[in-house]
Structure 1
Amino acid sequence: MLGAVSASILNVRSMPAASSSILGQVSHGMVLKGNGPHKNWIQINYKDTFGFVAAQYIQPLNDLSRLTGTVNTARLNVRQSPTASSKYLATLHLGASIKTLAILDNWLEIEFNGSTAYVASQYVDLVYVSKGYYARVNTNLLNVRSAPESHANLFGQLSIDSKVWVEGAQQGWSQIRFNGNRAYVANKYLTQIDLSQNNLTEFEPITLADSQDEPPIPIEEHGQQLSRLTPTSLLSVTGTSEQRNVAATWNRWGALLQNLCHKKHLDVSCALAVLCVESSGKGFEQNNGDKMIIRFENHKFWKFWGKHNPQQFRQHFQYSNQKVWQGHKWRNDNDSEWQSFHGNQNSEWQVFQFARQLNEDAAMLSISMGAPQIMGFHFERIGYQSIVEMFDAFSHSIQGQINGLFDFFSPRMLQYLQDLDFESFAGMYNGNGQKKIYGDKIQKHYAAFKKVMPNLTD
């Protein structure tokens, strides 16, 4: 099992008893891997031996996106796949911060140079960042610095509306994570996001403890029980591209998908395959300031705004008249060259932000959003009163996006998935023009998940 310490300091004991000797201590947020519980204790590896910690003070890892890692050895090899014989990519040094995407048996999947790579897990200290809040950048460009000082080294910049997780604050500065590194931004340029409508895990640390007389810590927020994201059984991210995709997506959100599929009487393999095909199992792009993944559709923007402003639209946007989902290009002004933008999230957001200046509602109606890639003009169908309400919900949390997927499923769509008729499903979800292509992709991902996790029951 995997879990994070929820006490400020937690004793590690030699035996599963409060009267046994103390081997050492672990601090709040540290991620532990162990076996158990055994009579309310968990056995863990500790300093080349083993020890025991009280199970009630180990918090489930609800959201892997909150994991941060620090290299604890002098030199750590980064590899292309999770095996010691795979291609060597680079070396990380002691103290380096890494962005952890998934935890495998003895390996960590990490973000590396805009892609994914792997390092041996025993050489990385993992911390689950649970105490904090999400905030949005409220200025055009916000400097990200290495220390809470205006003259500290500049790591980079965040654009307006970027979403960040604030770990803490000190003397007018907020501590955040930036490309896997601890970094700082000025408080006054952040606006805290109201998460009252979302289920994101937070828990407060408690005092030094391992007594079995204390009650277990509830997983609650705003007085409501939370939905877990991370499943108890994690998969190795290996094999074909489809197998790697389904495994990584399962590791991120498997628990939530199982829960929602159970309510819909749907094989979780089907919903997971749909998410993998729509967005490669991702809802936010870490290499684009953790912004929600979008796709701006020129032909939809024509429908909602361009046909009322044809001359201005044609100065900035193009698409094919025969196949309207193809040939999408844009330019900022008449003197600029036409540019393609699909396939790059930074470019998608540039077009979207430009369109928002022309008409904000029309621009939001013209994008597909998040992991399920649901078009904005479907906002009423999935239960929102306005496009702004949908955009905010999808921008704030993955739960909002995945809940939106299940709200979008019509009875006929669910029947097609239950019958494994993926082409007919794709015809309704993606449109008849590409139903064969998308249906085949869903079928391949469905089969891939059945292969890597054949004994899963819903």
Structure 2
Amino acid sequence: MLGAVVPQRLNVRSMPMTTSSVLCRLTENEVVRGEAEINGWWQVRYRDTIGFVHGAYIKPINDVSRLSGAVNTPRLNVRTGPSPNATYLATLTKGASVKTLAILDGWLEIEFNHQTAYVASPYVDLTYSSSGYPALVTANLLNVRAAPSRTASIFGQLAQNNRIWVEGTLQGWSQIRFNGNRGYVSNAYIVPDDTVGPESDMPVAMVDHENDTIDAIPKRSDDNSLLPLTPPVILPVTGNSEQRAVATTWNRFGALLIQLCEQKQVGTGASVAVLCVESGGKGFEQNNSDKMIIRFENHKFWQYWGRHNAAQFNQHFRYRSDKVWLGHEWRKSVNTPWQPFHGRQTTEWEVFEFARLLNEEAAMLSISMGAPQIMGFNHERIGYRSVTEMFDAFSSHIQYQIGGLFEFFSPQMLQYLRDHDFVNFAGMYNGAGQKAVYGEKIRKHYEAFTKLMPNTDNK
């Protein structure tokens, strides 16, 4: 049994009765695991203590995707399997954020460097995000920290009256989205914003590396929020392959790129080059009823749905266990032969639509979307409250796809682009094994753009 605390404070007692002594107190949205139920009381383990909380004040949790956690011990080992004998991968320090995928017996399955890994569950404090709420900053400058602790590193600062979206609370701290990442602010310096409803499309406050606030990129399919795409200068589509590619991309999206580059303080030349190499500048497939370009990943669908429905998954999907990105095949029924599906959008969508019938949210989490091919499970990183919201926006207009690419760039990625360090940028975007190849491609496209637009700000 897994549940989240409903009231702001909840006593953990030594026995399942209101007259027993209080061992500790839990806070709103903290997550507990019930080991047994006795006359309406949950027996729980809190740190090294066994205690009891009344079940009337616990909300059962069925959606682990809404769980997040913070390490509560000085050093926590990350391993390849749910066992102390499994291979050691890395160490997390106190306060580090943990993205939880599943809860096992004494272990948490987590996402670590885009792979599945495991940590011992007693050393992670979990919190549950139900729907969240809008809030206003009351301090002149409010620190945003990497973890719910005054000793955690500072991501940046929010100015007074900045609006934020609180995803959950944990021991006096609020979890928020900040520059595409999870951040934490003290509850003492924010107040609920009653002027904005819970379903509002309120932009989340974003702060750059110099702590100057900027407007969030529009994320909804609203024609009134669409920005111009066509640039003031149209380039001839001539020359070598790189020159033709950058000219075509610029002519399609130049005006939008100018605005996004100003927001992120990065040169247009580097941005055009990245867009050409990492996305090809195409977000919709004309030969597939103008549907958004996607790629369905079998191994991700296993992660988000298949492992809980293994027999059904194995009837329809398979992939190589040693190199999970290879050997992707599917079949609609056990009476039809296995067949590959990558490479054609009609078959990608056929597999995706089939998976949506099994579990729509898991299917969306398992696809890369649009021109930048950002995976659905990264929706929070680029500022969407749900994968459905990301899917709807990306499906509606190319602006949201390109905006999502810029939101996906971490501060370090942006600095590499400013420095024209394309190899290290590619190492973060494409992985260390491909950074030299992709870095060289980006450099060639950047040089092609500077030849066509020598007077453009490419610093």
TM-score by length of 2: 0.50
Give the TM-score, by structure 1 length. Answer: 0.50
